Amino acid sequence: MSNDSYVTDDGRTIGPTVMEMKNITLRFGGVKAITDISFDIREGEIRAIIGPNGAGKSSMLNVISGFYVPQEGEVWYKGAKRPPMKPYQVAEQGIARTFQNIALFEGMTVLDNVMTGRLRQMKANMFEQAIWKGKAEREEVENREVVEKIIDFLEIQAIRKTPVGRLPYGLKKRVELARALAAEPSILLLDEPMAGMNVEEKEDMSRFILDMNDEFGTTIALIEHDMGVVMDLSDRVVVMDYGKKIGDGTPDEVRNNQDVIDAYLGVAHD
């Protein structure tokens, strides 16, 4: 846990630790998905979690988002130990996420999907919503404004009224990002934001991630397979293999770590 801030080469300020994982172990029956992993996420940084298939990256993200409760270990968030929570409670604390296999409402328009990201901010009850006067209307206008700014930010104006089911994969990913962003999270978890994208879509997505971090100061934790993207985007990288942490540090440090090289390229078993 560190409390000092520092400024990166490209002029961003990285604050003190905002979330810390302490000795997390997660088991499914007899299978150990995560074994004794500790790492921290600092405010304003882009933190990547990488590793080969089945290394436990998505499980780690699910632990952070409260979907899995680890058998051992503690999650510290904003200086306090977090008790076991339901995912919606975690969301209320300001942690939003996207999913590896897109989880949008296919029949709803992009606008409506992104609006669902604002649900946490809407306080009007069902009755008020049904009449849609006074509080409900006011809330809708306020939240729509925030959503429109995000739509503008992610350049999805042209598909505002299109049902999500009709969109191509790359755009769906962007809509999911918009929904997560609409919650105005302090930590944003991205599960493979660039999986299955072509080079141009990846470039766009990288630009959005950097801009998001820059513009809104959002802390970002992301899982990604594309090494080039990870090394370019992130400030620090955690490397996992078979549920264990095998490396942690800046992209350069990680790149030269022998364990990491072995995990990715394989070692001769003689």
Partner 1 sequence: MAQSSQATGGLKSIPALLQRNAAQFADKDAYREKEFGIWQTWTWAMTENEIEALALGLINLGVKEGDFVAIVGRNRPYFYWAMVAAQSVGAVPVPVYNDSAAEEMEYILGHCGAKYAIVEDQEQVDKIIEIQEKLHTFEHMVYIDPRGLRKYDHRQLHEFSHIQAQGRAAHDELIGELKSRREKLDYDSTCVMLYTSGTTGKPKGVVLSNRNVIESSKNSADFDALTGDEEILSYLPMAWVGDFIFSVGQAYWCGFCVNCPESAETMMTDLREIGPTYYFAPPRIFETSLTSVMIRMEDSGDLKYALFHHFMDFAKTAGEKYGMPKRSLAKPDMKRRIKNGWRYAMGLGFAMETLVENGIRMAFTKLRHGSKAREHFKAKDPILLNLYRGSLRDYFKYRMGNVLVYGPLKDTLGFGRVRVGYTAGEAIGPEIFEFYRSLGINLKQLYGQTEATVFITAQPDGEVRADTVGVPSPDVEIKIADNGEIFYRSPGTFVEYYNNPESTASTKDAEGWVATGDAGFFEEKSGHLRIIDRAKDVGKMADGSMFAPKYVENKLKFYPDILEAVLFGNGKDRCVAFINIDLTAVGNWAERNNIAYASYQELAGHPKVLDSIQQHVEAVNRSVADDPMLAGCQIHRFLVLHKELDADDGEMTRTRKVRRVIVADKFKDLVAGLYDGASTVSTTTEVTYEDGRKGSISATLDLRDAQVAPVASKMAAE
Q: Enumerate binding residues for partner 1 (CB under 8 A).
A: 10-12, 144-145, 148-149, 151-153, 155, 157-158, 160-161, 200, 203, 207, 210-211, 214-215
User: Rounded CA gap, 94 and 133, in Å?
Assistant: 28
Residue 220 CB, nearest approach to partner 1 (Å): 16
68 secondary structure, DSSP code: S
Residue 10 CB, nearest approach to partner 1 (Å): 7
Contact 90, 185 (CB under 8 A): no
Which of 7/268 has CB closer to partner 1?
7
Which of 22/160 has CB closer to partner 1?
160
Angle at 178 between CA 75 and CA 155, to 5 degrees: 145
Positive/negative CA dihedral, 46, 51, 54, 60: negative
Which of 82/144 has CB closer to partner 1?
144
Which of 34/212 has CB closer to partner 1?
212
Residue 153 CB, nearest approach to partner 1 (Å): 7
Residue 3 CB, nearest approach to partner 1 (Å): 25
Q: Which two tokens stand for residue 205?
A: 């997505």
Residue 23 CB, nearest approach to partner 1 (Å): 37
Residue 258 CB, nearest approach to partner 1 (Å): 33
User: Rounded CA gap, 219 and 212, in Å?
Assistant: 9
Q: Is 99 left (phi over 0), alpha (psi -120 to 50) or beta?
A: beta
Rounded (to 5) percent helix, strand, coil in the chain: 40, 25, 35
> Residue 167, Cα to own-chain centre: how many angstroms?
22
Residue 238: burial class (beta carbons within 10 Å; 0-12, 13-18, 19+) = buried
Angle at 195 between CA 48 and CA 98, to 5 degrees: 65
Which of 44/56 has CB closer to partner 1?
44
**Number of residues assigned to the chain:** 270
Residue 217 CB, nearest approach to partner 1 (Å): 11
Residue 116: burial class (beta carbons within 10 Å; 0-12, 13-18, 19+) = middle
Q: Which two tokens stand for residue 7?
A: 């400024």
Which of 145/270 has CB closer to partner 1?
145
Which of 146/188 has CB closer to partner 1?
146
